[in-house]
Chains A and B, each alone.
Chain A
Amino acid sequence: MTKYLLRRFLLSIPTIIGVTLLVFIILFLAPGDPAQMILGPRGTPEQVDALRQQLGLDRPVFEQYLRWLGGVLTGNLGQSIAARQPATTLITQQMPYTLTLALSAIVLIVVCAIPIGVFSAVRRNSWADKGLSAGSMFFYSLPDFWLAIMLMLVFAIQLRWLPISGAGSWQAVILPALALGLPHVGTVSRLMRAEMIDVLGEHYIRTAHAKGLSPIHVNYGHALRNALAPIIVYLFLTIPWLLGGAVIVETIFAYPGIGRLMFQSILSRDLPVVQGILLIIATSTVVFNLLGDFVTAQLDPRIRY
C-alpha cells in the first residue's frame, strides 16, 4: 500500500505544477501594470520604472513565474495592493472563518444526508423513499445564492431568529452553513442511497440475514460500514467545492472569510490576493484527493495496487 500511495503522491506533483502555472498565467494576462497600480495615478514614469525593476516585472515571463513560485514555496504570495500588507497575512487572518463555515457545512451534510440515504436504501421504492429522493433532487437543484437570500429573508428579516450578516457569534454561522451545505445534502444522500443499495445486494448480507441476525444489526453493523467508505472519500472531495461556494455565500452574508476576501480583491483588482486564494483552493483539491485515496486504501483492504 505504501508503494501505491507513493505513486499517487508522485503523480500529483505534475498536477500541482500545472495548477501553479495556470494560476500564474491567468493573472499574468490581466491588463494593467501592477507597478502603476501600486503607485496609483500620481506615480511618475520614473518611479513606475524603478518599481517594475524592483518587483522584477521587466524580466522574462518564465523568470517571473519561477520567482513567484519560489515565493509561494516560502509562504510569500506577494504584497496586497489594496491593503498594503502581505497577501499571506490577509489570507491567513480570514482562513479560520472560512474553515469554521466549511466544517459546519460538512457536519450538516453528514448529520442529514447519511441517515436519509440509509433510510431510503433500506426502504427502497417505498413512498417514503420516493419522497426523499425527489426532495434530494430538489435540494441538489437549489442555487446556493438564491437559497442564501431566501434563508436570509425568512429567518433574519421575517422571523428575526438569526443575525442577517457578520460573524462573531455561533448564531451567525448557521445561515451561511445552511446555504452552503443544503445543496450538497441532496448529492450526498443520493450517493449514500446508491452505495447502500449496492452493498445490500451482496452475498454476505444474505448470509448475515440467513444466520438470523436482526435487520438492524445487518443494516447498520454490516452494510453501513462498507457503504460508508466511498461517502467519506466524496466528503473529502466536497471540501474544496465548499471553499468555492464560500465566495458567494460569504459575500451575501457579509461573513469575513477568504471567499469574501476574494470577491473584494477582484473588485479592487488586488491580483496577488486573488492569485493566492485561487492557488490555495486548487491545491487543497489535489491534497484532499490524495487524502481521499489514502482513506480508501485504509478502509478497503481489497485495494492493493
Chain B
Amino acid sequence: MTPIAKPRLHITQGSRAHGPFAPQIRSFRRHFLGMTGLVLVLTLILIAVLAPVIAPYPPDEQNLLVLRQPPSAEHLFGTDHAGRDVFSRVVYGTQIALTIGITLIVIEALIGITIGLLSGYFGGWVDLLFSTLVDVFWAFPPIVLALGIVTSIGPSLTNVMIAIALISWAPFARVTRTKVQSLRTLEYIQASQCCGATSISILLRHILPNILPTNLVLASLMLPTALLAASSLSFLGFGAQPPTPEWGAILNEGREYLRQAPWISTFPGIAIVITVMAFNFLGDGLREAFDPKIR
C-alpha cells in the first residue's frame, strides 16, 4: 500500500530552467534513463560529425595484406574480407544511420501530422477516408510492405527510405487525430472560428503548437523502429549496396565469414543496438516528461 504523500514544499534553489517547458525539462532531468539516452545520442552525433577524425582509415580502403584479421591495436574491430578496417566502417556507418533515421522520421511526421490534422479537424467523410487509409497501412508490418514496394521499384537505399517513409506515418496520423479531436471543441478554437479565422490559420497557429510535444515524443520512439527497418532491408540486400558502410549491409557482408571472422558481423550489430537503445531511452524520458499517457 502506498502511504499518503506528505505535502512537499518546493524551495527555489540555484539556477533553474525557465520558459514554456520548464516543468517538463526539470522532470526530464530527473529521469536517469532519459538523460543517459540524451548523452548517448549527443555522443553518436559527435561521432558522426567527427568520423573523418576518429576513423584511422578511409571506410573503403582495401589492404590485401590484412584480410580477416582479428581485432588488434592497429585494427580495433579487426578487418574484413577485403582488408578494410571494420572500426572505420562502423564509425562512418554512424553518419549513414543518423541521416537515415532523422530523414525518415521527418518525412513520416510531416505526412502523418498533415493527415492527422485534416482528419481530426474536418471529421466527416475526410476523417472516414483517412482513417481507413491509416488502418490499411497499419495492417502491414513495416518490413513486409517495404519489401513489397522495393520489389516493385528496385533495391537501393533511397528506394528503401521512400518505402519506409510511405508506410510508417500511420502512428503520427493516429496520435495527431485523437489530439486534434479533443482540441477542436475547446473555447479558444471556437472563439477564433467566430472571429472569422480560416481553417488553415486555426490549424497552423492554434492547433499545431499544441500537438507538437506529443509528436516529438512519438518521433523519438519511432526513430529506432525506422532505423531498424532500414538496416533490416539493407541486411537482406535490398537497401544500401556494398561498399556503402551501412551497418546492416556490413553485417550481411560478414555473414559469409561467420566461422572464420565473426567480428565483421558482431561490431556493426553492437553499434545498431547502442543507437536503438539510446533513442529508446531518450524517448522514454521525453514521454515521462511531456506525455505520460501515451505508451
- A286 near B255 (CB under 8 angstroms)? no
Complex CA gap A18/B138 in Å reads 11
Complex CA gap A274/B266 in Å reads 31
Q: Which residues of A contact B272 (CB under 8 A)?
A: 143, 146
Complex CA gap A155/B280 in Å reads 29
Q: Which chain A residues in 261-290 approach chain B with CB under 8 Å?
A: 262-263, 266, 269, 271, 274-275, 277-278, 281-283, 285-286
Binds A, one of B15-23, B83-91, B139-147, B200-208: B139-147
Closest to B32 in A: A130
Q: Which residues of A contact B141 (CB under 8 A)?
A: 240-241, 243-245, 281, 285
> Does B151 belong to the interface (CB within 8 Å)?
yes
Give the size category of B's interface with A.
Answer: 35 or more
Q: Select the residue from A14, A149, A153, A283 with max chain B CB neighbours within 10 A.
A: A149
> Does B33 belong to the interface (CB within 8 Å)?
yes
> Does B93 belong to the interface (CB within 8 Å)?
no
Q: Which chain B residues in 236-295 approach chain A with CB under 8 Å?
A: 236, 238, 248, 251, 255, 258-259, 262, 265-266, 269, 272-273, 276-277, 280-281, 284, 295
Question: From residue A25, how far is it (CB to closest CB) to chain B in Å?
Answer: 9
Complex CA gap A166/B255 in Å reads 17
Q: Select the residue from B139, B142, B262 with max chain A CB neighbours within 10 A.
A: B139
Q: Which residues of A contact B265 (CB under 8 A)?
A: 146, 149, 153
Interface size on A, residues (CB 8 A): 55
- Secondary structure at the B interface, as helix, strand, loop or mixed, is helix
- B151 near A274 (CB under 8 angstroms)? yes
- Secondary structure at the A interface, as helix, strand, loop or mixed, is helix
Complex CA gap A247/B228 in Å reads 14
> Does A29 belong to the interface (CB within 8 Å)?
yes
24 A-B contact pairs sorted by A residue (CB < 8 Å): A18-B135, A26-B149, A26-B152, A30-B151, A138-B277, A142-B273, A143-B248, A145-B248, A145-B251, A191-B295, A206-B1, A209-B1, A243-B141, A244-B141, A244-B142, A247-B147, A248-B235, A248-B236, A266-B150, A278-B140, A281-B140, A282-B139, A282-B140, A285-B139
